[in-house]
Structure 1
């Protein structure tokens, strides 16, 4: 009982629930046709094969970095957790064509808010996969994570749970 009363804060684990940033099929990173993502060299997480072209905030937070070509964005949770949301593979080569940002750097966002609209057919017709990795950008603060692989709807809660070290 005394150990519960005097438990240090360093043993506390914060859990961040990540909502689906897209509507589509949530899959393992190994399904992404890019070695850096598939082998988790960019970080751990999951991917979504989108069925529509709207990327939303996976939690309340702020835009830590909107990539100039609007094909990717880093969103930061109040806990410090940062997620990289990367629409498609090699889509930087489209130089922003087919992507419309609805937010800007340092903007506060709420879960479910539209971040980027994109044209999946344009991306596919240009020869690029639309599968979208959702990557923990700062894995050093993560104790563990788990993701659900299933059909998801943008804004659907609990698609990934991230336990943070403290």
Structure 2
């Protein structure tokens, strides 16, 4: 009877399903294959990883840049549902201090699906001794613990779905 008075925030979060497209082209693999316990163990949230075949990261959905790391190796996007997605290029790439990364967005920017967020040099990352496998994580923001289902195999940025996320209250 009182359901019509639910807040807009509740309506957006309760049982809402979000499909996330690949933010980069490559091979989508289970998060457990990432050679970093924080990511592989799901401590930052559920998701998958992509072994990229080109150095371009795009927005997988329309949203907002919640945060971009100063060294441009990672960005957090926020979906209209409130869900946040961490896109982390490579492992231990913070050690490169931005070398080999070019960001085209800033914190607070509105982005459209398919828009280039960051370009990165795969060879420079490898030459520095870093892994290029890139986690894509639905962060646990404390309010909700989303159900995350990964879709694995070859993916093309902006075309193939990599995650189905069910947000619950």
The correspondence for 1:34, drawn from 28, 33, 36, is 36
Q: Any conservation in 1 of the 2:59–2:117 contact (CA below 8 Å)?
A: yes
Residue in structure 2 matched with residue 43 of structure 1 by the alignment: 45
Pairing 1:8-157 to 2, within 5 Å after superposition: 8=3, 12-138=14-140, 140=142, 141-157=144-160
Unaligned 5+ runs, structure 1: 1-5
Residue in structure 1 matched with residue 168 of structure 2 by the alignment: 165
How far is 1:143 from its partner?
3.7
- CA-based RMSD of the aligned residues comes to 1.7
Find the aligned partners of 1:50 and 1:7 in 2 and give their Cα distance.
48
Unaligned 5+ runs, structure 2: none
The superposition leaves residues 23-45 of structure 1 with CA deviations (integer Å, 9 ceiling, x where unpaired) of 00000011101111111112110
Q: Any conservation in 2 of the 1:69–1:92 contact (CA below 8 Å)?
A: yes
Count of residues in correspondence between the two structures: 161
- TM-score in terms of structure 1 length: 0.91
Find the aligned partners of 2:2 and 2:124 in 1 and give their Cα distance.
55
How far is 1:157 from its partner?
4.3
Find the aligned partners of 1:157 and 1:59 in 2 and give their Cα distance.
12
